[in-house]
């Protein structure tokens, strides 16, 4: 699979719909969000754009262990964030914009975009066949939220 700096992350249907915001106390989410922006130097961590940022949860999927693990929270601009959630972009009729931005940021062709999208869809279909995913966000939270809050 070709690596792009801006890529698609399609969450398996059965997985917990990553949204730390709904799970954490507002003050904790705020702390996570703001430290992600500060870490990125208040720029999008993918394209470097300044301006309004959004916090994006990064997950790692271990298909053997059926484990969905939180591995980070990144600062993304809204355009990069939209591409990351490509199925949602298509759902709200912004597929063309997302495609343009993917090609621009990654410096790739339309054929390469379609290839990357197909790979992401295949990966999604494969992960969807796995039942009973476990979600682990405790370790990351332990290292990034609770530890720093005790200082
Ligand atoms: Zn960006």
| In contact, 24 and 126? CB cutoff 8 Å | no
Expressed in angstroms and rounded, the spacing between residue 66 Cα and the centre of ligand 1 is 30
Q: What is the pTM of this model?
A: 0.90
- Higher-scoring residue by pLDDT: 11, 52: 52
Q: Is 134 helix (H, G, I), strand (E, B) or coil?
A: strand
What pLDDT, on a 0 to 100 scale, did the predictor assign at position 151?
A: 45
Q: Which residues lie below 8 Å from residue 24, measured CB to CB, with a gap of 6+?
A: 32, 145
Expressed in angstroms and rounded, the spacing between residue 75 Cα and the centre of ligand 1 is 9
**Which of 7, 54, 49, 33 has the alpha carbon at shortest distance from 144?**
33
Residue 138 pLDDT greater than 70, yes or no = yes
Radius of gyration of the chain from its Cα atoms, rounded to whole angstroms: 16
Expressed in angstroms and rounded, the spacing between residue 26 Cα and the centre of ligand 1 is 25
* pLDDT band at residue 13 under the 50/70/90 scheme: confident
Query: How many angstroms from the chain centroid is the CA of residue 127?
Result: 16
Expressed in angstroms and rounded, the spacing between residue 131 Cα and the centre of ligand 1 is 33
Expressed in angstroms and rounded, the spacing between residue 54 Cα and the centre of ligand 1 is 10
Residue 147 pLDDT greater than 90, yes or no = no
């Amino acid at each position: 699979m070709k690596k792009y700096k801006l890529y698609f992350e399609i969450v398996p249907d059965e997985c917990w719909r990553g949204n730390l915001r709904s799970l954490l106390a507002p003050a904790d989410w705020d702390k996570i969000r703001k430290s992600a922006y500060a870490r990125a130097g208040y720029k999008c961590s993918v394209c470097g754009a300044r301006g309004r940022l959004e916090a994006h949860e990064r997950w790692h999927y271990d298909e053997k262990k059926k484990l969905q693990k939180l591995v980070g929270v990144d600062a993304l601009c809204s355009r990069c964030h939209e591409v990351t959630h490509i199925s949602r972009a298509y759902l709200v009729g912004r597929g063309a914009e997302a495609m343009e931005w993917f090609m621009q940021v990654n410096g790739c062709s339309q054929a390469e975009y379609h290839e990357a999208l197909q790979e992401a869809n295949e990966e999604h279909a494969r992960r969807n066949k796995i039942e009973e995913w476990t979600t682990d966000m405790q370790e990351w939270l332990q290292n990034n939220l609770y530890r720093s809050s005790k200082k």
